[in-house]
Structure 1
Amino acid sequence: MTGKTGCRDIELIRRAGQGEADAWHELIARHRADMLRWAGRIVPHRQAAEDVVQESLLQLFRHIGRLEDPSRLLPWLRKIVRNRALMELRSSENRRAARSEPLPEEGPAQPAAVRSAEPSLMAAGREAVRQTEHLLARLGERERQVASLQLLAGLSAEETGRRLGLSRGAVHTALARARAKLADGWFDEEARLSADARRRRNRPSYGHAMEGSAGMPGGAYDTLCWAMLASAWTAGKRGISLSDVFAATGHSFRFQTTPDLGISGPYAYDWRRSVRDGWSHLGLSGRTLGGPGASLDRPEQLAEQLEQWKEALDRGRAVIVWGAGNAEFGLVTGYDDTLRCWIATDTTMSGKRIPYARLGRGRRDTEWFSSWPAAEADVGSRSESLLPVLELAASRLRGSPGDPAGQAETVSGQQAYRLWIEAFEQRRISSPLSASYHLAVMAEARGHAAAFLERAPSGARFGRTVPRNARPALQEALRHIRASAQAWQEAARLFPLPFGGDTSAPGPTGHAARLLARAAASDLQAADALDEAAWLWHPFFSAER
């Protein structure tokens, strides 16, 4: 954006940010035709494009005070329109619709004086002013004064302080509070706009994939596997078990921890990779938003989440989420546009209503993650074979360099064993609860690994039976996994949840170190046997294909 046109836009952005309605109307008039053309390249008919432009204009107004580089207005507008148009396109009726009215072709825009007289532009301006007044009403008097001077007028903290008679620290405190309240307002407004847009398109205002906890599987320490099982059931995979999900994700064969041996260790892995592997090996394709370390900090992220989750729930698919009630995985099982809330379930509560704008934003450190099964994969695909699950299992048991770090730096496999064995031997475990939790999680995981391998030769859950010449190696792997599971279970009994045991006593800690050393050796032997089974299977797998 250069020359006279760019300079004019920069001036209009500055004035619109200060609340001048005439500048806002002229800014809309200058760019609305381009926005309509951009939308028309994606959505299937003119009315949908008009809706996209109107919602994009409202988003522009809410965020115009945060545009750090006014010269980047056009790329910013184009991105807003594109994201809104793609969300519009996802609705089923728009995917089926044909173009009903031609959209403007490339060419010179209409004169600003003509475009600014359009009633829709004036309506957008009035709505923007209403939204601004509504958002500012959330603020206290001092917060409103500071926000107006810094965010709208563009004054520095020092200039703002001089005008209001405040110290620089007081200005920063007031601005931080104002930003937090305005962010809540923007997210709430995004939720309202989404619900209103669905109503205009005659979309359902209520949907659910399951009622409360009806038909839910039993809980687990590994709540991601628990949630994936429930979500897979809603996609029609009722024949699978929790042990199958543990194996499909690789969780039953993994051991990872953080270097400080903190309680977050069992969750310190790449969530996206786990669900990707899990859906694929269960014969499903999946969709995922966010990930470990990601945050829901922009309203447009919420808009994407609202549209995609509701589409999944309308199809009867429960959505896996992080942090619905506690710091664990749970499920969104329904939505209600009238109340603008999700209906969520986890291992501790069922049917909880959570406002659209709050899930994923409950605390400053809340991480944003969701996943759901989008469709069933081809029946004959390699992903439905047991073979890739066995290959994944061997890799997880060893803790390969590709074994992911997720929410924090992690170590896995044999390296994780060494850390915990040394900690028990030297009695330097600072958190008994962390020790108890790790032991309980691993006892559960290896128990599911054994249960899975017991049924593996039939291939009933994963599409193909194991060739006869590979079965002895699979039985050998099962024998070692059972030994590992037994060692973990004995160690978990030494330091039971919820209070743990005395990690400073030499007897229990020494015994735990020996048990973990036994489990580590068994895991390596199981990995070797699984590699042998996979190697023997490969020629048969290639011949079948």
Structure 2
Amino acid sequence: MEIHEQSSAGRGLEHREADEARELAERAQLGDTEAFGELIERHRNRAKDWAERITGDPHLADDIVQDALVRAFLHIGSLQDASRFLPWLHRIVRNQANMRLRRGGPYKKEKPFASFGPSNADPDRVEWDDLDSVLRHLTRSAADAALSGQDPAEHLLRKELYETIRSVLHVLSRKERSIFEAYFFKQLSPDEIASMYRMTTGSIYTYIHRSRQKLKQERIRVSLGLSPEKGGSAMVGSKVLKLPEHPPHARSMTTFVDRVGQLLAALGDPRETAELMGVSGFAFRMQISDKATYADGIYMFDWRQTLRTFLGELGYGATMLCGQLAESPVPLLGAVERFPVVLPIEEAVLPFIRRTIDAGKPVLYFDTSASRPYVHEWSLIYGYDDERRLVHLTDAMKPEGKTLSYDDVAENPVRFLAAVEGGREPAVGPPGAVWEEASRRNAAARALRFAADYARNARAYCPMTSYLSYTSGLAAYDRWIGHLRRGPGSPPNRYGMGQLAAVYAEAKRYAAGYLRAVPFEGEAMRLALLAAEAYEQAGEAIGEIASEVPFVRTAEAMAPELCERCAARLEKARNFEAAAVEYVEKSLTLMEKGISP
């Protein structure tokens, strides 16, 4: 009886998992990227096991799974039966693995060097235990074969390959090179190599992976004609900056603003978060995807121009490195589509990081490996270590910070790094407190003008990518409410709802705090205070949504009753914010009559 009950419980669990997988697949087919991400998170290890059983190579299996997941993401709409997601994914992995093997597996059309033995060459000219000697011999043989007319194109390609390998192997340390040679050229197994070096098999895999990454980057460098970097001979440095304490009450879920504030504090210029949110305009922004309640609307703005304008208002300049990685799925494409296409080489980013940190300044960095529940967020790189090949950076969910490898930074599909330059000289004007007060009033008036204009602009940001569109300002409330009232057949994205509600509830509260501190007088100040009260009420209404739909990673769908409650609260918040905008506009009218621009 007990066995039967356990068996029934097991079948019940399997049915629940199958139902959840089917529901996630159906949502993914409708364009729900978070649902697709949840599917992949559940089945990535299984997909790697499939690939490894076919290829017998764990590193090749990683590459195959990555290719398969990209293909699955692009073609999820072709899945006719959502309950068949796993067999469909298995077929994609199998096809990708077989395609790689048909091309020659990890070697493509080149043979492993272990297949070239003494019988293929003049033993008087070649030391077969010396890799450099083997490579010189193979290069000469390929060149001779090309000259003799034996398929010149193929042999010249081989010659180029062997010369490239010779030119890049110098980046490996002595131990890395020995292990690399043993694995790739002598065809020893990781277990055999581990026994030779008295190391664990896992450590050998780590050495092999690290060597592959080094050779890959060096080959790109060589192909671009960049100066070679000798392994072990380059200057090795490290530096870790001490960031000032960043207490919870001073933080913001708008991490673009939060990190700029933390960066300025590290430079000895601490600012109130409400001031930063107001000056940057993020206290007054709201943007919703036209597709669903995805959180990507939070990130849709011109990153470069917004940072320049924001820092300019605070008296600083900025130097930036931006790019999108070639041949890589790029998140938040609508925001980074204007970035140049770049290659994953350390030399494009590490000198910038070293130079900035050596000058005592953290680097603003967009991190696509943020800790859950985030997917990606802005962070600060505040240290580097050349010997360990890693950087130290902040993480929204880890007060103690974390580390990323140099490879992780170079291979980030979105490249956004910025350094704050020294304070800008103030505009020429009369000295003293009177001029300073007038300057603050003008800055506040500009911030409120942005707030009023943004609220009335339903298309504040328009990506070039045609299938991406967003609604902003007061109209964003109507878009958001519409997503919630689509009906049970198309539930909103719960994860996105949680992040949107948390971020925008907090933003409205910061808007209220900023307005209460603007240096206005008389009727203009009274109207600003009324606007602050209305923003506070809007924030409380959205905050009630955040309480019911918390910002957590979950595949749970929103029930129709919950959707309706959230929609009603958004209507309430919209009415309060509409009133706030009217008060802001009236206050500006009074201010602009008495303030020169």
The TM-score bracket by the shorter chain reads: 0.5 to 0.7
Q: Which amino acid in 1 is paired with 2:530? A: E
- Indicate which of 323, 330, 342 corresponds to 2:367: 323
Match of 1:510, SS? helix
Closer, same or farther in 2 for the Cα pair 1:134/1:409, shift >3 Å? farther
User: 1:246-325 alignment to 2 at 5 Å?
Assistant: 246-261=277-292, 262-290=294-322, 292-293=335-336, 294=339, 297-298=342-343, 302-323=346-367, 325=369
Q: Distance in 2 between matches of 1:517 and 1:420?
A: 10
Q: How does 1:83-482 map to 2 (within 5 A)?
A: 130-134=166-170, 183-186=216-219, 193=229, 199=235, 205-210=237-242, 214-218=244-248, 219-238=251-270, 240-261=271-292, 262-290=294-322, 292-293=335-336, 294=339, 297-298=342-343, 302-323=346-367, 325-326=369-370, 327-349=376-398, 350-362=400-412, 366-380=413-427, 385-403=443-461, 405=463, 408-427=468-487, 428-456=490-518, 465-482=519-536
Q: How far apart in 1 are the matches of 2:362 and 2:450? A: 26
Q: List per-residue Cα deviations over 1:312-356 (Å, max 9, x = no partner).
A: 222222111111641221110012234343221212333533233
How many Å apart are 1:490 and its aligned residue? 1.9
Distance in 1 between residues matched to 2:523 and 2:534, nearest whole Å? 19
The runs of at least 4 consecutive aligned structure 1 residues that moved more than 6 Å come to: 135-144, 178-181, 187-192, 194-198, 381-384
Secondary structure in 1 matching 2:558? coil
Equivalents in 2 of 1:277, 1:531: separation in Å? 22
Which residue identity lines up with residue 513 of structure 2 in the other structure?
A
Query: How many angstroms does 1:180 deviate by?
Result: 8.2
TM-score (norm. length: structure 2): 0.54
Structure 1 position 252, deviation (Å) = 1.5
Aligned-partner residue type, residue 410 of structure 1: Y
Equivalent residue for 2:550?
Answer: 496
Amino acid at match of 1:369: F
Which of these residues, 568, 582, 585, is aligned with residue 531 of structure 1?
A: 585
The change in CA–CA distance for 1:493 and 1:315 in structure 2 (over 3 A counts) is same
Instruction: Give the drift of 1:254.
Output: 0.8
Q: Go from structure 1 to structure 2 and tell me whether the alpha carbon gap of 1:135 and 1:208 turns closer, same or farther (over 3 Å shift).
A: closer
Letter aligned with residue 267 of structure 1: Y
Match of residue 103 from structure 1? none
3-state DSSP of counterpart to 1:379? coil
Percent identity of paired positions between Structure 1 and Structure 2: 19
> Deviation at 1:360?
4.7
What SS class does the counterpart of residue 288 from structure 1 fall into? strand
For 2:474, what is the secondary structure of its paired residue? helix
Question: 1:255, CA displacement in angstroms?
Answer: 0.9
Contact persistence 2:349–2:410 (CA under 8 A) = no
Letter paired with 2:499? Y
Amino acid aligned to 1:377 = R
Q: Report the Cα distance in structure 1 between the residues aligned to 2:341 and 2:231, rounded to whole angstroms.
A: 19
Q: 1:131-170, CA deviations, whole angstroms, 9 ceiling, x for partnerless residues? A: 33458989999999xxxxxxxxxxxxxxxxxxxxxxxxxx
User: Would the alpha carbon gap of residues 354 and 437 (structure 1) be closer, same or farther in structure 2, given more than 3 Å must change?
Assistant: closer
Whole-angstrom CA distance in 1 between matches of 2:444 and 2:305? 18
Report deviation, 1:179. Answer: 11
Q: Deviations over 1:244-282 (max 9, x none)?
A: 222222111111122222233322333223322321222
**Residues 299 and 443 (structure 1), Cα distance of their counterparts in 2 relative to 1, 3 Å cut:** closer
**How far apart, in 1, do the equivalents of 2:355 and 2:409 lie?**
17
SS in structure 1 at match of 2:349: helix
TM-score, normalised to structure 1's length?
0.58
CA spacing shift, 1:206–1:308, aligned 2, 3 Å: same
Q: What 5-or-longer segments of structure 2 have no aligned partner?
A: 1-137, 144-159, 186-210, 324-334, 371-375, 429-438
Q: 1:527 to 1:377 in 2, by over 3 A?
A: farther
Return the offset for 1:306: 2.5
RMSD in angstroms over aligned alpha carbons? 4.3
Output the CA distance in 1 between the equivalents of 2:341 and 2:183.
27
Question: Which structure would you say has the larger RCO, counting Cα contacts within 8 Å and 6 or more residues apart?
Answer: 1
Moved more, 383-392 or 323-332: 383-392
What are the Cα deviations for residues 343-385 of structure 1, in whole angstroms up to 9, with x where unaligned? 21212333533233421515xxx31112232121233486982
Secondary structure of the 1:403 match is: coil
CA distance in 2, matches of 1:251, 1:360: 29
- On the 8 A contact 1:192/1:340 being kept in 2, the answer is no
Q: Give, in angstroms, the shift of residue 522 of structure 1.
A: 2.5
Q: Distance in 1 between matches of 2:340 and 2:184?
A: 25
Equivalent residue for 2:560? 505
Distance 1:271 1:406 in 2: 15
CA contact (8 A) 1:235 1:373 kept: no
Q: For residues 198 and 472 of structure 1, do their structure 2 counterparts lie closer, same or farther at Cα, with a shift above 3 Å needed?
A: farther
For residues 49-82 of structure 1, what are the alpha-carbon distances to aligned partners after superposition, in whole Å with 9 as ceiling and x for unaligned?
xxxxxxxxxxxxxxxx89xxxxxxxxxxxxxxxx
**By how many angstroms is 1:503 displaced?**
2.4
Alpha carbons of 1:340 and 1:486: their partners in 2 closer, same or farther (altered >3 Å)?
same
Task: List per-residue Cα deviations over 1:185-241 (Å, max 9, x = no partner).
Answer: 457998984999994xxxx93333325xx5134354322222111111122221x12
Q: 2:217, 2:589 → 1: CA distance? A: 55
For the Cα contact (< 8 Å) 1:324–1:346, is it kept in 2?
no
SS at match of 1:251: coil
Q: Structure 1 CA distance, aligned partners of 2:380 and 2:497?
A: 28
Kindly indicate whether the alpha-carbon contact (under 8 Å) linking 2:213 and 2:407 is maintained by their aligned counterparts in 1.
no
Which residue identity is paired with 2:420? P
Alignment partners' CA distance in 1, 2:380 and 2:359: 15
- The number of residue pairs the alignment matches comes to 375
Shift of 1:391: 1.5
In 2, distance between residues paired with 1:142 and 1:409?
A: 50
Q: Is the 8 A contact 1:344 1:352 kept in 2?
A: yes
The letter of the residue matching 1:208 is V
C-alpha contact (below 8 Å) 2:505/2:542 kept by paired residues: yes
Counterpart AA for 2:358: D
Q: 1:184 to 1:496 in 2, by over 3 A?
A: same
Name the CA shift for 1:516/1:340 in 2 (closer, same or farther; >3 Å). same
Q: Which runs of 5+ in 1 are unaligned?
A: 1-17, 24-64, 67-125, 145-177, 457-464
What letter matches 2:254 in structure 1?
D
